[in-house]
């Protein structure tokens, strides 16, 4: 043991953290701190078993978008997983506001999460773990970059099956992403930019952090089962109704997607983003469609609407 202890100073002097961190602020154990200092124990069930739930909301031009819906879904996940935190919905909203305000970001990706935590005795019984709440705000990031948003994403449909809802309820946002990550590598191997996975019936399900829509003869369809009912997905239903467009959740076959007039994906990390190539073949004429563009414009316009957004109060 002595030789290990004596080696520690040498290790510390030459150790360089291999990770870089974006500028941001986290809330952890009752205090606000730089994102690089937000750490969890290696014994936390969230790390060891992906036993956690979370939700993400974004800030655009200094305003949260649909924060109430994200907090509502987060607390629903806590209840379903039998977790509890020592904060009310209003207090969580205040913590998120503080993270953004202290970070200074006018465009931010903001996350609230709760892990099962760790047991003081390393018990295998999840009831012995002390649940742990965390939150953070970092610069806004999108599934699609500026170029991809302009010309449309290139997507590959993986043969991998999304975790079925009978195993893990997709209504509870979770970190079970191995199927999604493997799907991403399938897409990269085929020179695509992101992936869509199938459901247990062989229909299109969802991608890594996003839902998908197809437009055919003015009607919008999106997968109904085996997917997270995203807040941006919900927003598309509402905006479509305002435009007089029929929008429904149904089984979406691979052929349906490929023969569509337009395809787009939706996520808090990017909003409404066009898709123009699926499995190497163009969707329709290979250009971003008019319905996608109209919905995209309406979506970002609503970020200034007080009924849909909440301002952040920044210091000074």
The CATH superfamily holding the domain 146-303 is D-amino Acid Aminotransferase, subunit A, domain 2 (3.20.10.10)
pLDDT computed for residue 19 by the predictor: 73
Domains 23-139 and 146-303 share a fold: no
Least confident of 8-12, 156-160, 278-282, 312-316: 8-12
d(CA 108, CA 59): 5
With cut-offs at 50, 70 and 90, classify the pLDDT of residue 18: low
What ranges do the domains of the chain cover?
A: 23-139, 146-303
d(CA 35, CA 257): 40
pLDDT computed for residue 4 by the predictor: 43
Joined together, the tokens standing for residue 195 give 């992936």
The arithmetic mean of pLDDT across residues 221-240, rounded, is 96
Give the phi and the psi of residue 128 in degrees, each rounded to 5. Answer: -90, -10
CA atoms within 13 A on the CB side of 217: 1
Q: What's this model's pTM, rounded to 2 decimal places? A: 0.92
* pLDDT, tens digit, 9 for 90 and up, residues 190-201: 999 999 999 999
Whether 272 contacts 264, CB under 8 Å:
yes
The arithmetic mean of pLDDT across residues 8-22, rounded, is 61
* pLDDT, tens digit, 9 for 90 and up, residues 109-152: 999 999 999 999 999 999 999 999 999 999 999 999 999 999 99
CATH fold for domain 23-139: D-amino Acid Aminotransferase; Chain A, domain 1 (3.30.470)
d(CA 92, CA 98): 10
Which of 316 and 129 is assigned the larger pLDDT?
A: 129
């Amino acid at each position: 043991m002595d030789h290990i202890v004596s080696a520690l100073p040498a290790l510390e002097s030459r150790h360089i953290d291999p990770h870089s961190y974006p500028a941001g602020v986290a809330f952890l154990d009752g205090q606000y701190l730089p994102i690089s200092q937000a750490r969890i124990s290696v014994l936390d069930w969230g790390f060891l078993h992906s036993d956690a739930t979370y939700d993400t909301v974004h800030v655009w031009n200094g305003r949260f978008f649909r924060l109430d819906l994200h907090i509502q879904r987060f607390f629903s996940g806590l209840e379903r997983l039998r977790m509890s935190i020592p904060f009310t919905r209003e207090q969580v909203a205040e913590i998120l506001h503080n993270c953004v305000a202290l970070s200074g970001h006018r465009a931010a990706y903001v996350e609230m999460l709760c892990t099962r935590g760790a047991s003081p005795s390393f018990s295998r019984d999840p009831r012995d773990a002390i649940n742990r709440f965390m939150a953070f705000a970092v610069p806004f990031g999108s599934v699609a970059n500026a170029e991809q948003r302009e010309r449309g994403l290139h997507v590959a449909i993986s043969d991998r099956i999304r975790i079925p809802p009978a195993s893990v309820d997709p209504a509870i946002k979770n970190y079970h992403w191995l199927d999604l990550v493997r799907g991403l590598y399938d897409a990269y191997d085929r020179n695509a930019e992101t992936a869509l996975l199938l459901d247990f019936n062989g229909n299109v399900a969802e991608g890594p952090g996003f839902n998908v829509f197809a437009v055919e003869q003015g009607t919008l369809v999106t997968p109904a089962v085996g997917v997270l009912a995203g807040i941006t997905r919900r927003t598309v239903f509402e905006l479509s109704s305002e435009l007089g467009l029929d929008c429904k959740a149904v089984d979406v076959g691979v052929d349906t997607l490929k023969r569509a007039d337009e395809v787009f994906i939706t996520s808090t990390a990017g909003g409404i983003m066009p898709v123009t190539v699926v499995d190497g073949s163009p969707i329709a004429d290979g250009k971003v469609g008019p319905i996608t563009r109209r919905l995209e414009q309406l979506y970002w316009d609503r970020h200034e609407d007080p009924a849909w957004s909440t301002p952040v109060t920044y210091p000074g």
